[in-house]
Amino acid sequence: MDNSGKEKEALTLMAEADKKMKSSRGFGTLFGGSSRKYEEACDIYVRAANMFKMAKNWSAAGNAFSQAAHLHLQMDNKLDGAINFLDAGNAFKKTDPQEAINCLNQAIEIYTDMGRFTIAAKHHISIAEIYESELLDVDKAICHYEQAADYYKGEESKSAANKCLLKVATYTAQLEQYQKAIDIYEQLSVQRYEDMFPAFSDARECKLVKKLLDAYEEQDVDAFTDAVKDFDSISRLDQWNTTMLLRIKKQIQDEESDLR
């Protein structure tokens, strides 16, 4: 069956599900038939969504999954509703990033209401990644990484929380919010510096990172320059680190000039 045939079958299924929904509002409600018809309609919407996926009609697939999700919520079936919202979000990622975010947020709301914060954190990361790669909104990406970190901390998933915080530090540094980035690095233990920067592979490098932070806080451009040279001599800085360090050095120099 080609894509047009799959799409035609999906549309037939959608019509069938809509018909069941309309009939459930009739006399069947008096005899408890509404719930069964809702369940059947949900199943058909999901079948239609999967057929739309096979036809690569991602928007239609997302809409069908969303209809199933809302119907599950009407039946107070929150878990299946959340799963359908996630499926809808994954489909919408292909064509409509903002609608994907809307669906993921609805799933997150359900998971947090159920107390499943680790799963909610995972999907906050998914939203952050959409803002990173599709919508190019760093500020909103930061917000979702911070929320994910908070949820992971609450669930004692410290390693996962630290990875999110490092993303926050990376982007706040790019936005030249250096103090916030430094505060994040200082929250993390010296033992975690290896995870922060792949180049920081031994204790000597950790001490040099501390020197960089101290020099920045003291606004000592000479000490900062020396610390960068020392570090580069034992572990070559990559392009991103070099760019960020040059920006920080320039900020220190500018602040020194303002004080004169």
pLDDT (average), residues 52-72: 92
**Coil, strand, or helix at residue 92?**
helix
So what's the pLDDT on residue 141? 96
Q: Looking at the predicted structure, is the pLDDT value of residue 72 above 80?
A: yes
Q: Six-digit token pair at 174?
A: 């790019």
Stated as kind and residue range, the H or E segment containing 63 is: helix 58-74
Task: Please report the DSSP string for 105-117 in residue order.
Answer: HHHHHHHHHTT-H
Say how many Å lie between the first and final Cα of the chain, rounded.
76
So what's the pLDDT on residue 188? 63
CB 203 within 8 Å of CB 225: no
Express as a percent the part of the chain with pLDDT over 70.
79
pLDDT (average), residues 97-108: 96
Confidence of residue 227 (pLDDT cuts 50, 70, 90): confident
The candidate with the shortest Cα–Cα distance to 119, out of 131, 128, 129, 107, is: 107
CB 45 within 8 Å of CB 87: no
Q: Six-digit token pair at 251?
A: 């900020």
Mean pLDDT, all residues of the chain: 81
pLDDT digits (tens, 9 = 90+) for 168-216: 988 888 887 877 887 787 776 443 444 445 444 445 555 666 677 777 7
pTM: 0.71
Between 195 and 94, name the one with better pLDDT: 94
